[in-house]
Amino acid sequence: MASEQGFAVLLRNYRRRAGLTQEELALRAAIGVRTVRDLERGRASRPQRTTAELLVGALGLTGSDREQFLDAARGRVVDGTSGTPFLRAATADELIGRDADIAEVVALLSAADGPRGMTLVGVAGVGKTSLATVVAHRLADGHPGGVAGVAVGDDSTADELLDSVAAGFGAARARELPGHLGAAAALLFVDGVDRAAAAAAEALTGLLDRMPRLRLLATGRQPAGFAGERVWPVAPLTIPPVELSVGTVAELTPYSAIGLFLERLGRVRRTRLAPHEIGPLAALVRRLGGLPLAIELAAARGRVLTVPEILASYPVPVPHPVVPLQDVVAGTYRVLAPPEQRALRLLAMFRHRWSREHAEAMLDTSDGDRADVVHLLDRLVALGLLNVSGDDVVRFRLPAAIRDFATERSAAEGELEEARKRHARLAPATASGDGVVP
């Protein structure tokens, strides 16, 4: 919860992720800019109650966000760190075909002589974040110092990453982390280290040097490069061999790519596979290269298409028989109506998680358009383009590969600069995700 974070870090993170200067935040809150500066530097660790309320209004905080912000302002800190934001976030669904990976990575990071840090490496869409999320939750009981999760942004600096790590563990500043955690074993999950590789390597190497009881779990399309790193390749799911002749679904179920497709297909249609769909199913998961994200996108189209029709929508590329993930994403993108495509391009400006209210603000809707936004989000979720999590507070997130694709399309349409400006103009409560993995 936010109250476990240092107030200075919490306030700074809300402001930065909104693209606001200290002067702009002070103007919105009708307080002095020196007050904002002193609060962010920790010179005034507890703002007056009136000041805190003015900041809440300027940040547009409501519900649990408002309560957590005010708790931090009042200096209320929950004893211990086991209640870090990462552990309160929902875990990923049970992962099909990843039992061996989960068991081995958990065993390595649990062993006294195991590696200090591991990076799960693989191509876009292979499921690195989901795998790491499950592993981190499985390791929680063995790390009484807590489990913190942070996501690296495209322009993150080493200092910003360290600030986020400190906030995740409930410390006011990065330099206070060793004393804050003491001798307790702790685990840090860093998602997307390749987005700012040099900054991540610098920050994480320093953390491991200063904190001997800290262990690190990272994800990226390439190794993070920190000292003592153990690289764990994440492979695509298993697919049926080309020479396999099948006549029943039972003959295909030993292959995890098939299992994932059938599980996702079952969410959008109730009927069983027809006999004429069994052969094309094997060909389809081969054509998708066993990539979980590609399989999920394809299965979502089973709401209106048969398996042979889905297969036909992904032409065989030459000379390689596997469809690139970008082409799979593009195929689903083309299903959207032009206004929906534009909405997806705008939503790609969010780096982390966001709510329905965030979407309404980004898409510049009026109260009368809220039903349309709900319908849009539901459609994006149904098509597999959008992840959703949470119970009391629902949050959405675009998978990295889909966000990258939508950002590229925004640039191609000549609207990227304006989309970024729109994002920056939003109040912090509506312009930023919380940055907590997942």
Query: Running DSSP on this structure, what letter comes out for residue 237?
Result: P
* Spatial distance between the Cα atoms of 394 and 25, rounded to a whole number of angstroms: 27
User: Is the predicted pLDDT of residue 149 greater than 80, yes or no?
Assistant: yes
Would you say residue 174 lies in a domain?
yes
Asked whether the predicted pLDDT for residue 216 surpasses 80, the reply is yes
Which among 295, 308, 303 has a CA at the least distance from the CA of 239? 295
What's the CA dihedral at 311, 316, 321, 325 to 10 degrees?
Answer: -70
* pLDDT higher than 90, residue 101: yes
Is 306 in the same domain as 396?
Answer: no
Segment 248-283, tens digit of pLDDT: 888 998 999 999 999 999 988 888 899 999 999 999
Least confident of 10-24, 155-169, 415-429: 10-24
- What is the rounded CA–CA span in Å between residue 249 and residue 232? 32
Identify the weakest region by mean pLDDT among 135-149, 290-304, 319-333, 360-374: 360-374
Q: Looking at the domain assignment, is residue 243 inside a domain?
A: no
Same domain, 208 and 291: no
275 and 304 together in one domain: yes
Residue 195 vs residues 199, 201, 400, 420: alpha-carbon distances, Å: 9, 11, 11, 18
According to DSSP, residue 81 is labeled S
Q: Is residue 16 part of a domain?
A: yes
Task: Please check whether residues 214 and 133 belong to one and the same domain.
Answer: yes
- 325 close to 339: Cβ distance less than 8 angstroms: no
Kindly report, residue by residue over 237-249, the tens digit of the pLDDT: 999 998 888 888 8
At 429 the pLDDT is 43
Q: What pLDDT is recorded for position 438?
A: 47
CATH number of the CATH domain containing 370: 1.10.10.10
Q: Which residue has the tokens 């400190």?
A: 166
- Which residues fall within 8 angstroms of residue 154, CB to CB, at 6 or more apart? 195, 196, 351
- pTM for the structure as a whole: 0.75
Could you tell me the pLDDT band of residue 20, with boundaries at 50, 70 and 90?
Answer: low
Judge whether residue 82 has pLDDT over 60: no
| pLDDT, mean of residues 313-338 | 90
Are 177 and 168 spatial neighbours (Cβ–Cβ below 8 Å)? no
Residues 17 and 61 in one domain: yes
Q: What 8-state DSSP symbol labels residue 317?
A: P
Mean predicted lDDT score pLDDT of the chain: 84
Residue 78 lies in a domain: no
Contact by Cβ (8 Å): 100, 199: no
Same domain, 121 and 179: yes
Domain edge (last residue) among 283, 299, 332: 332
DSSP state of 353: -
Flag whether pLDDT at 332 surpasses 80.
yes
Verify that 10 and 67 share a domain, yes or no.
yes
Q: What is the pLDDT of residue 430?
A: 43
Q: Are residues 90 and 226 in the same domain?
A: yes
Q: Of 369 and 114, which is predicted with more confidence?
A: 114
Label residue 107 exposed, middle or buried (CB < 10 Å: 0-12, 13-18, 19+): exposed
Q: What is the pLDDT, as a whole number, of residue 299?
A: 95
On whether residue 79 sits in a domain, the answer given is no
What is the tens place of the pLDDT at every residue in 169-211?
888 788 888 888 888 899 999 999 999 999 999 999 999 999 9
Q: Domain range for residue 166? A: 85-233
Which of 311, 332, 353 is where one domain is finished?
332
What pLDDT score was predicted for residue 262?
Answer: 94
Contact 312, 274 (CB under 8 A): no
Q: Are residues 152 and 226 in the same domain?
A: yes
Q: Which of 332, 359, 377 is the last residue of a domain?
A: 332
Give the tokens for residue 276: 């004429």
* Phi and psi at residue 291, to the nearest 5°: -80, 125
The per-residue pLDDT for range 333-361, each reduced to its tens digit, is 999 999 999 999 999 998 777 888 889 88
Predicted confidence (pLDDT) at residue 291 exceeds the cutoff of 90: yes
CB 211 within 8 A of CB 100: no
Spatial separation of the C-alpha atoms in residues 431 and 286, rounded to whole Å: 39
Q: Give domain status of residue 382, yes or no.
A: yes
> Is residue 396 included in any domain, yes or no?
yes
Residue 167 confidence class, pLDDT cut points 50, 70, 90: confident
Cα(292)–Cα(3) distance, integer angstroms: 36
Closest CA to 267 of 239, 240, 301: 301
Phi, psi (deg, nearest 5) at residue 369? -100, 0
Whole-number pLDDT of residue 90: 56
The 3-state DSSP class for residue 125 equals coil
The closest of 194, 234, 224 to 117, measured between CA atoms, is 224
Residue 205, pLDDT score:
93
Give the whole-number percent of the chain exceeding pLDDT 70. 84
**Per the structure, how many domains does the chain have?**
4
* Same structural domain, 288 and 315: yes
Q: How many other CB atoms sit within 10 Å of the CB of residue 254?
A: 10
Average pLDDT estimate for 389-398 = 76
Instruction: Give the pLDDT confidence score for residue 27 in this predicted structure.
Output: 84
- Residue 297 and residue 360 in one domain: no
Res 264: pLDDT: 92
Confidence of residue 432 (pLDDT cuts 50, 70, 90): very low
pLDDT above 70: residue 223: yes
Q: Same domain, yes or no, for 100 and 201?
A: yes
* CATH number of residue 149's parent domain: 3.40.50.300
pLDDT of residue 423: 85
The CA-atom distances, in angstroms, between 363 and each of 71, 340, 354 are 31, 11, 13
Is residue 229 a part of any domain in this protein?
yes
CB of 260 closer than 8 Å to CB of 296: yes
